[in-house]
Structure 1
Amino acid sequence: MTEASDTSRCYRLVIFDWDGTLMNSQDRIVDAIQQAARKTGLPVLDDRTSASIIGLSLTKAIQTLYPEADEAQVRRMAEAYSHHFLNDSLVPMVPFAGAEGLLRALKAAGAIVAIATGKSRRGLNQVLEESGLGPYFDLTYTPEESASKPDPLMLQRILEETGVPVSQAVMVGDTTFDMEMAQRIGMDRIALSHGVHDSAELDRYGPVAHLHDLEGLKAWLLPRLCPSSMERDNPAHSTDRSA
């Protein structure tokens, strides 16, 4: 674990990435990308390359992997990916160990908990329901209501909606897209190494902590939450929402 020396801040708002941070879904995403490529007639890329774009919006991910694809091919692949991921894939995905315990502890301590993800709204809503973790989140954002990472618009809108200053918010993620997104608006960021991008890549963005699992994150984060008695500016919001 690495961490910054500044311990003066406390956090009222904790924002999580989803895939690779709370949900162990890398293998299913890679499977869906590769199956969609086959159905669309695009080259099937290796596992590492296919996984490298996890965290981006679906359209941006496809355009990154296949810069030669035209608009129609991108659209067909996106449709094939979504159908396979949501309906046909037999590759299991489960939350990382400790996910529910971490979220329960954050809510009990009075933190506002949010999601900023590259998933589609439909995909996120489905997996939140299936996993049973949806009730722990006060609000969620996808690229459909804002912009794809690493554009920080999702974070900006979460800050605006909650009324929490950036100095009392922290972004938790496993990719450089998460780290860059937070860095661009001066938000503290915590890197998790159990996801997609390796430790050296994540550390280039100066995270306040670099942890290896959700139990370690829980132990680091809980003592750094602002007192739960602090009055919130806004009430909790529904998980099933749009901007």
Structure 2
Amino acid sequence: MAKKQFDLIVFDWDGTLMDSTATIVACIQAAAKDLGLPIPDKKQASYVIGLGLQDAMQAVLPGLDSKYYPHMVERYRYHYLAKDKGLTLFDGVREMLKDLSQQGYFLAVATGKSRVGLNRALDAANLLSVFDATRCADETFSKPHPAMLHELTRELGQDMQRTVMIGDTTHDLQMAINAGAAGIAVHYGAHSAPELQALNPAYAAASVFELHAWLNENA
């Protein structure tokens, strides 16, 4: 089947492919509690998902003495590593990725996770061989800076105008805008539908199955 709009499909990881939003929120809150800091509410903690870890901690608790942020990162990792083995892909993700790969699309990941964290997740999900390239926040600039998409398109020899970024946060969609790529929102992750719609995504999916169907019909 001839591709209609895109050759490269880039996915966010947490909250887009992996059902991890609630766990990340709980770990951010636990890290703050460990250090006796103000505990962010669910909306505050959800909002920083997708940013690099250091940037996320600075955004969720702005104005702290800078000495606290490395400790927040350490405590977050402690809690997350105790829970990440129980995380699962959203229903339909594995089938969607297999189908898109078989159709000849280039597939990539752009994530706020660290390289070690993403490799652990890909290995646990048995998806290491599915993606043609991946970028992590500790390798380049954090979202919404466009560097991840610029680097992925260069690595894979792809045109930004035939690239789409799919994510559950405004950080993902803003990165796509900043890079000159298309953006697709998913409404089952960290940020609310109105927040995502304000950035005028090309499409917004309420489920992985809706996303898969739209990509098959339109991508």
Query: What is the rounded CA distance, in whole Å, between the counterparts of 1:91 and 1:37 in structure 2?
Result: 22
* Aligned match of 2:36: 41
Q: Which whole-Å deviations, capped at 9, do the CAs of 1:95-149 have from their partners, x for residues lacking one? A: 1110000000011001110000011111111111111222211111011111111
1: distance between equivalents of 2:31 and 2:186? Answer: 28
Number of residue equivalences: 217
Contact residue 8 and residue 106 of structure 2 kept, 8 A = yes
Residue matched to 1:172: 166
Residue 184 (structure 1) aligned with residue 178 (structure 2): yes
Alignment-derived partner of residue 51 in structure 1? 46
Question: Shift in Å at residue 48 of structure 1?
Answer: 2.1
Q: Give a deviation string over 1:208-242, Cα, whole Å, max 9, x none.
A: 111111111111112344xxxxxxxxxxxxxxxxx
Indicate which of 66, 69, 76 corresponds to 2:64: 69
Aligned equivalent of 2:139? 145
* TM superposition score normalised by structure 1: 0.85
Tell me the residue number matched to 2:6. 11
Secondary structure of 2:183's counterpart equals: strand
Aligned to 1:237: none
Residue 159 of structure 2 corresponds to residue 201 of structure 1: no
Residue 156 in 1 paired to residue 150 in 2?
A: yes
| Contact 2:163–2:182 (CA under 8 A) maintained in structure 1 | yes
Structure 1: how far apart are the matches of 2:215 and 2:165? Answer: 11
> CA 1:91–1:29 in 2, change beyond 3 Å: closer, same or farther?
farther
State the SS of the aligned residue for 2:201: coil
Partner Cα separation in structure 2 for residue 70 and residue 222 of structure 1:
49
Q: Report the secondary structure of 2:138's partner residue.
A: helix
Distance 2:186 2:72 in 1: 30
**1:31/1:91 contact within 8 Å kept:** no
* 8 Å contact kept, 2:46–2:191: no
Which runs of structure 1 show a deviation greater than 6 angstroms over 4 or more consecutive aligned residues?
none
Taking the aligned partners of 1:177 and 1:156, their CA distance within structure 2 comes to: 15
One-letter amino acid matched to 1:79: E
**Residues 1:83 and 2:47 aligned together:** no
How much has 1:90 moved relative to structure 2? Answer: 7.8
1:158 is aligned with what amino acid? L
* 1:77 CA drift (Å): 0.9
TM-score normalised to structure 2 length: 0.94
Which structure exhibits the higher relative contact order, with contacts defined as CA atoms closer than 8 Å and separated by 6 or more residues? 1
State the match for 1:116 in structure 2: 110
Q: CA deviation at 1:52?
A: 1.4
CA-atom RMSD in angstroms: 1.6
* Equivalent residue, structure 2, for 1:234: none
AA at the equivalent of 2:120: Q
- Check the 8 A contact 1:167/1:187 in 2, yes or no: yes
SS of the equivalent of 1:10 reads coil
Q: Distance in 2 between matches of 1:43 and 1:73?
A: 12
Identity across the alignment (%): 38
Structure 1 spans left out of the alignment, 5+ residues: 1-7, 226-243
Cα deviation for residue 9 of structure 1 reads 5.0
Aligned letter for 1:70? Answer: D
Are 1:9 and 1:168, in contact at CA under 8 Å, matched by a contact in 2? no
Which residue identity does 2:167 align to in structure 1?
A: G
